[in-house]
């Protein structure tokens, strides 16, 4: 198998982010939602540079001999990334200027800047600046020959070119002094990014905080003439670099790493592409930036702030409300444990309410027969209701154990704070251990029933996070299957005791049997295809990157196995290659909700095997994380999952075809019935 049978991971991720940008361009999407998609694109790209690009650039520092062991050339890849991002940024700017701004104007919402501000608005802005903004702005003069000025990570600055109004007299002649340069940080974290100006005749006016500062620069720099001003922003490396996770206090090392994140090395310097070359060169020298740091952008940065763009009570500019559906099995006064004991129950978020998870934990906290609660926590919401329920259970005398993953990127501090609250309440808290993240989503309750201990379990594809559950599409399975309960307990034993020889017959658990079993399941389909029997593999994943398992899928395709892949993000597999992947088709769905669930379906000679999972098919998930794929045995639930997969595969409104070049062409209806899978799923789940 040749080298060029894998699509590059980073370029594939950029292709995914372009699908987000497509939603911003889609005129059928409500205007404010299109603005949010611009925000999501911007936020995604910011994280990409903070983590992935920073990591790639660190490889440039490797010695030549070490670089030769890599599968790629970092400098060439970084160049491709920069070129791709430049094209996307140009498209982003065009969407904003030519579609979003005119769309706002049609709704009588106008963005104001120094070019179109009225006299009355100018007076309002000046007063606002003096009263509220000025106390937070501390301008700094730059001097490239002195100490480098420190730019805060992800903050917006105005870079200003100045000339003194005073005239110097040398050689008996009066002349203007040379240019000076300065920066002023925009205090958006304190005042918000957007300020609403007084409405006039039914028209609404909004101004960027950046422009309020820009308009008042003469007040900020008295004695100087303002030559020009441009927006800049620095993104820093946000990866946690822990030299040795296996010695010393790992928690303290993580906390120390977090403190260094704010001062990480630059990974992207974003500047207004209208900035003159000489101005940019001065900033580059003064801030000690490399050419690779420089990324041109537009007049405004940090578009993720558009999540908080003022809403002027125009509901037609947003998606219509989709209230979570009820689950009738749980909407009765019977004990939730009695309900689960009768049959397995599947919840599908955000189409169904997350409150049933809270009810599960709250019932456990109050039930006199519950002995213990064990739970894994990966990404925890601020002011989490899950944490509150666990604390209540501990206060009620329950034996509560929580495994908190404090290496969950960008949620480390929230997780530390939640863990501290749990410890204070008497919960037994276990933390990250070296070399591995715990990404599985499990809850196990032990309850005394008829003098015996019984297990009631909850397994999920998504986090115990009531906030992300409103927008992330995930599955959660309640079961009283005792064999599965015993195996979940073995996972918790592993997390608590670090035992290395756990066996599983039902659950597929990384790093134990997940990869091995997946390979065996694919081999079974290969054997069926070679034998002339029916064979099929259907996968729904966030990312497909692991090369060993991609090679196995290629082998299956060559044997004649039909493979359908629904991949939201990274896809390193190349579909449709002659004599290699002709039997593999790939689509991706980006829509209102973030597709986050993982589903594995194997034909198994007609007796289909269904799994839901926390794990994507990436090397890290299959080898360096604790992940769980769990079987679905209930026939009704299997049928429901199959219907959901069929709806997604036939989506002809929001599905994109992932081809060898990842061009993101839409899978269109061609006169067929329009199927927008997320909305069809919502209807499917409605109670009869």
Catalytic residues: 439
Q: How far is CA 243 from CA 246, 435, 437, in A?
A: 9, 11, 16
Sign of CA dihedral 259, 265, 270, 275: positive
Please check whether residue 677 is in contact with residue 655, taking contact to mean a CB–CB distance below 8 angstroms.
yes
Please check whether residue 213 is in contact with residue 133, taking contact to mean a CB–CB distance below 8 angstroms.
yes
Q: How far is CA 443 from CA 97, 203, 386, 451, 472, in A?
A: 48, 52, 11, 22, 19
Q: Is 264 helix (H, G, I), strand (E, B) or coil?
A: coil
DSSP 8-state assignment for residue 669: -
Please check whether residue 654 is in contact with residue 590, taking contact to mean a CB–CB distance below 8 angstroms.
yes
Please check whether residue 22 is in contact with residue 15, taking contact to mean a CB–CB distance below 8 angstroms.
no
Phi first, then psi, for residue 502 (nearest 5°) are -95, 140
For the beta carbon of residue 682, count every other beta carbon within 10 angstroms: 20
Give the contacts of 600 (CB within 8 A, at least 6 positions apart). 518, 521, 538, 539, 609, 610, 611, 612, 613, 629
- Which residue matches tokens 């090369």? 547
Dist CA 686 CA 688 (whole Å): 6
Angle 557-563-565 from CA coordinates, rounded to 5°:
130
Dist CA 298 CA 499 (whole Å): 54
DSSP 8-state assignment for residue 51: I
Please check whether residue 153 is in contact with residue 262, taking contact to mean a CB–CB distance below 8 angstroms.
yes
DSSP assignments along 509-562, one per residue: EETTTHHHHHHHHHHHHHHHHHTT---EEEEEES-B--HHHHHHHHHHHHHT-E
Query: b vs e for 637-676, b when ≥16 Cβ sit within 10 Å of the residue's Cβ?
Result: bbebbeebbebbbbbbbbbbbbeeebebebbeeeeeeebb
CA 340: distance to chain centroid? 32
Please check whether residue 526 is in contact with residue 559, taking contact to mean a CB–CB distance below 8 angstroms.
yes
- Which residue matches tokens 């007040």? 219
Dist CA 16 CA 673 (whole Å): 26
Please check whether residue 464 is in contact with residue 380, taking contact to mean a CB–CB distance below 8 angstroms.
yes
Dist CA 426 CA 409 (whole Å): 26
Q: Is 243 helix (H, G, I), strand (E, B) or coil?
A: coil
Please check whether residue 536 is in contact with residue 524, taking contact to mean a CB–CB distance below 8 angstroms.
no
Dist CA 518 CA 602 (whole Å): 10
* 575: its two tokens: 């579909």
Dist CA 457 CA 445 (whole Å): 6
Closest alpha carbon to 473 in 488, 459, 463, 486: 463
Give the pairing type, strands 609-613 and 625-631.
antiparallel
Give the contacts of 152 (CB within 8 A, at least 6 positions apart). 185, 234, 262
- Which residue matches tokens 């379990």? 457
């Amino acid at each position: 198998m040749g080298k060029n049978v894998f699509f590059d991971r980073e370029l594939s991720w950029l292709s995914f982010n372009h699908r987000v940008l497509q939603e911003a361009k889609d005129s059928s999407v409500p205007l404010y939602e299109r603005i949010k998609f611009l925000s999501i694109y911007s936020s995604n790209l910011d994280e990409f540079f903070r983590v992935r690009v920073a990591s790639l650039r660190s490889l440039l520092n490797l010695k030549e001999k070490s670089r030769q062991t890599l599968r790629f050339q970092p400098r060439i890849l970084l160049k491709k990334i920069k070129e791709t991002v430049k094209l996307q940024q140009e498209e982003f700017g065009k969407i904003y200027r030519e579609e979003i701004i005119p769309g706002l104007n049609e709704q009588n919402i106008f963005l104001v800047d120094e070019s179109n501000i009225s006299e009355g608005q100018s007076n309002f802005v000046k007063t606002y600046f003096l009263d509220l903004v000025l106390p937070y702005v501390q301008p700094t003069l730059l001097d490239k020959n002195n100490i480098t000025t420190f730019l805060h990570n992800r903050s917006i600055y105005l870079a200003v070119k100045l000339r003194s109004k005073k005239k110097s007299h040398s050689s008996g002649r009066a002349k203007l002094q040379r240019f000076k340069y300065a920066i002023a940080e925009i205090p958006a974290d304190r005042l918000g990014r957007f300020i609403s100006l007084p409405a006039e005749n039914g028209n609404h006016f909004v101004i960027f905080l950046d422009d309020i500062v820009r308009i008042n620069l003469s007040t900020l720099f008295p004695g100087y003439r303002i030559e020009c001003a441009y927006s800049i922003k620095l993104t820093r490396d946000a990866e946690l670099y822990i030299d040795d996770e296996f010695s010393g206090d790992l928690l303290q090392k993580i906390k120390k790493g977090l403190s260094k994140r704010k001062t990480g090395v630059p990974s992207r310097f974003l500047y207004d592409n209208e900035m003159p070359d000489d101005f940019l060169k001065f900033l580059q020298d003064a801030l000690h930036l490399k050419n690779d740091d420089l990324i041109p952008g537009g007049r405004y940065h940090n578009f993720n702030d558009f999540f908080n763009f003022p809403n002027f009570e125009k509901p037609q500019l947003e998606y219509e409300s989709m209230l979570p559906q009820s689950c009738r099995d749980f909407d009765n006064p019977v004990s939730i444990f009695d309900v689960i004991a009768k049959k397995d129950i599947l919840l599908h978020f955000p189409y169904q309410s997350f409150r049933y998870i809270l009810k599960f934990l709250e019932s456990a906290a109050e039930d006199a027969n519950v002995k213990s609660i064990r739970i894994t926590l990966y990404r925890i919401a601020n002011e989490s209701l899950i944490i509150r329920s666990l604390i209540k259970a501990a206060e009620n005398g329950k034996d509560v154990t929580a495994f908190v993953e404090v290496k969950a990127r960008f949620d480390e501090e929230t997780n530390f704070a939640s863990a501290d609250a749990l410890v204070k309440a008497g919960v037994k808290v276990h933390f990250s251990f070296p070399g591995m993240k715990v990404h599985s989503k499990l809850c196990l309750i032990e309850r005394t029933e008829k003098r015996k201990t019984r297990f009631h379990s909850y397994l999920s594809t998504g986090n115990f996070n009531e906030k992300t559950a409103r927008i992330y599409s995930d599955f959660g399975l309640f079961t009283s299957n005792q064999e599965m309960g015993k195996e979940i307990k073995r996972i918790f034993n592993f997390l608590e005791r670090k035992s290395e020889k756990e066996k599983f017959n039902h659950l597929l658990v990384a790093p134990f049997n997940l990869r091995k079993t997946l390979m065996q399941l694919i081999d079974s389909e290969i054997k069926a295809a070679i034998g002339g029997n029916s064979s099929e593999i259907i996968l729904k994943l966030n990312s497909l990157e692991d090369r060993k398992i991609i090679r196995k899928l290629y082998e299956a395709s060559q044997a004649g196995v039909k493979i359908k892949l629904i991949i939201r993000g990274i896809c390193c597999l190349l579909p449709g290659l002659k004599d290699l992947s002709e039997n593999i088709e790939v689509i991706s769905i980006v829509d209102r909700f973030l597709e986050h669930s993982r589903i594995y379906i194997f034909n198994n000679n007609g007796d289909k095997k269904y799994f839901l999972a926390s794990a994507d098919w990436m090397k890290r998930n299959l080898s360096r994380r604790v992940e769980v794929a769990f079987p679905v045995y209930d026939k009704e639930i299997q049928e429901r999952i199959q219907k959901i997969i069929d709806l997604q595969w036939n989506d002809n409104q929001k599905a994109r075809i992932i081809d060898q070049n990842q061009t993101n062409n839409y899978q269109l209806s061609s006169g067929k019935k329009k199927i927008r899978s997320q909305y069809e799923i919502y209807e499917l789940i409605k109670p009869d």
